[in-house]
């Protein structure tokens, strides 16, 4: 659902010039990698902001435009932004204190004359102060010098190949606190395509929040059946209690702050909140989004091997998968 819609066809046509170079944070992660691809497909230059330039060059290739940026080191912000006119802002999951990190980067970007910021938020962040994204959204909304757009995706289909991959590969199960509820999984390839469309026509999306879900919803039982059929191994769904899930994440070695945020993000699943299909993605892309089944069938090899113990798959490990 759009928070604000264009008031007239004339306003809809007034897209403004495209951004010319976008600094992409989280560039080696699930979403960032796809944003780099989607920008390249639209002919918009992108600079990957990464913690390790060496690793980024190994993943993205020696020709890639790569710059060092660490949210925990504000001295890296201004040099990373130099020469860019737009920013794709992503909150790394392990980062919960956004004031000295993401919001500080926003301040540096605004002061440096960045034209447009797209923030990858999460569905419901406007209403839930427990989510770190809430404070970033408010911070962006409070400044008026730079255009901004909020993307609020629902549950990623990529969680199956990332956060849940170890459970699926090692234990043959999906273990989440969802009960019998459904989820309108969204594919980050589609989220990235929306981001690229915003950077191509920033004025048309300025001051808007786009809620992005997939076109169909599925129960986790249906997800397990889809994986079983696609992988040829038995995958079962076991609904977790909230304390059981907390313990499970802690045993997986996640830091306490991340355990808390991930549990809050999963809390809405059981109530059915994540089942709601929103038409915005289909409208913005001009086609239906990819479904959970599309994601699984495009990425079957992901579940053929387990990630290293204690780790989720390395960000960017989807590089060779189907697009
Ligand atoms: N999962 C879902 O269902 C879902 C749904 C809606 C919204 N979201 C939101 O999506 C975001 C996560 O996106 P994602 O899945 O693409 O994340 P991801 O795959 O975990 O990637 C996170 C990226 O952030 C980078 N990073 C970590 N710490 C950093 C630091 N201190 N400074 C600079 N970069 C840093 C990582 O770099 P390295 O490569 O160096 O590690 C990595 O590239 C979260 O804000 C989450 O709440 C998730």
Q: If you take atom 25 of ligand 1, which residue's CA is the nearest one?
A: 26
The pLDDT assigned to 289 comes to: 98
Q: Is 159 in the pocket of ligand 1 (CB under 6 A)?
A: yes
Q: If you take atom 19 of ligand 1, which residue's CA is the nearest one?
A: 29
User: What is the whole-number distance in angstroms between the Cα of residue 92 and the centre of ligand 1?
Assistant: 3
Range 9-154+187-213+276-289: architecture per CATH? 3-Layer(aba) Sandwich (3.40)
The pLDDT assigned to 41 comes to: 97
Return the sign of the alpha-carbon dihedral for residues 45, 116, 157, 165: positive
The pLDDT assigned to 264 comes to: 79
Q: Is 90 in the pocket of ligand 1 (CB under 6 A)?
A: yes
Atom of ligand 1 nearest to the CA of 27: 43
Q: If you take atom 18 of ligand 1, which residue's CA is the nearest one?
A: 29
The pLDDT assigned to 101 comes to: 98
Q: If you take atom 37 of ligand 1, which residue's CA is the nearest one?
A: 26
Positions of the chain with pLDDT lower than 50, given as ranges: 3-12, 310-323
Q: If you take atom 46 of ligand 1, which residue's CA is the nearest one?
A: 93
Ranges of H-type helices in the chain: 9-13, 30-41, 53-60, 77-81, 102-111, 132-142, 165-171, 188-200, 202-205, 220-231, 242-251, 256-270, 280-285, 292-298
The pLDDT assigned to 244 comes to: 93
The pLDDT assigned to 309 comes to: 53
The pLDDT assigned to 305 comes to: 80
Atom of ligand 1 nearest to the CA of 315: 19
The pLDDT assigned to 172 comes to: 96
Q: What are phi and psi of 69, to 5 degrees?
A: -150, 125
**Ligand 1, pocket-test mutation among 93, 123, 159, most atoms within 8 A of CB:** 93
Do 214 and 187 contact (CB within 8 A), yes or no? yes
Q: Identify which of 94, 124, 107 has the alpha carbon closest to the alpha carbon of residue 29.
A: 94
Domain spans in the chain, listed from the N-terminal domain onward: 9-154+187-213+276-289
Q: Is 201 in the pocket of ligand 1 (CB under 6 A)?
A: no
**Ligand 1, pocket-test mutation among 100, 121, 260, 315, most atoms within 8 A of CB:** 315
Q: Is 155 in the pocket of ligand 1 (CB under 6 A)?
A: yes
DSSP bridge pairs for 42:
none
């Amino acid at each position: 659902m759009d928070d604000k819609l264009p008031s007239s066809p004339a306003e809809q046509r007034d897209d403004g010039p495209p951004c010319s170079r976008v600094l992409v944070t989280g560039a080696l992660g699930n979403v960032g990698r796809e944003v780099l691809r989607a920008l390249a497909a639209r002919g918009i230059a992108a600079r990957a902001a990464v913690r390790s330039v060496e690793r980024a060059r190994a993943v993205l290739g020696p020709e890639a435009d790569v710059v060092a940026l660490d949210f925990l080191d504000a001295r890296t912000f201004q040099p990373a932004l130099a020469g860019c006119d737009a920013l794709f802002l992503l909150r790394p999951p392990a980062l919960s204190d956004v004031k000295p990190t993401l919001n500080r980067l926003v301040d540096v970007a605004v002061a440096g004359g960045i034209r447009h910021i797209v923030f990858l938020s999460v569905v419901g962040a406007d209403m839930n102060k427990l989510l770190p994204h809430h404070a970033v959204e408010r911070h962006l909304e409070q400044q008026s010098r730079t255009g901004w757009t909020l993307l609020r995706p629902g549950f990623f289909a990529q969680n199956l190949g990332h956060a849940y991959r170890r459970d699926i590969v090692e234990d043959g199960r999906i273990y989440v606190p969802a009960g019998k509820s459904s989820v309108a999984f969204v594919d980050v390839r589609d989220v990235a395509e929306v981001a690229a469309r915003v950077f191509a026509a920033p004025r048309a999306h300025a001051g808007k929040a786009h809620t992005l879900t997939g076109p169909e919803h599925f129960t986790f039982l249906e997800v397990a059946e889809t994986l079983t059929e696609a992988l040829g191994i038995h995958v079962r769904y076991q609904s977790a209690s909230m304390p059981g899930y907390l313990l499970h994440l802690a045993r997986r070695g996640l830091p306490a702050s991340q355990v808390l945020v991930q549990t809050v993000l999963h809390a809405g699943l059981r109530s059915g909140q994540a089942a709601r299909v929103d038409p915005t993605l289909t409208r913005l892309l001009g086609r239906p989004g990819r479904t959970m089944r599309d994601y699984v069938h495009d990425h079957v090899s992901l579940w053929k091997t387990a990630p290293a113990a204690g780790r989720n798959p390395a960000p960017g490990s989807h590089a060779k998968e189907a697009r």
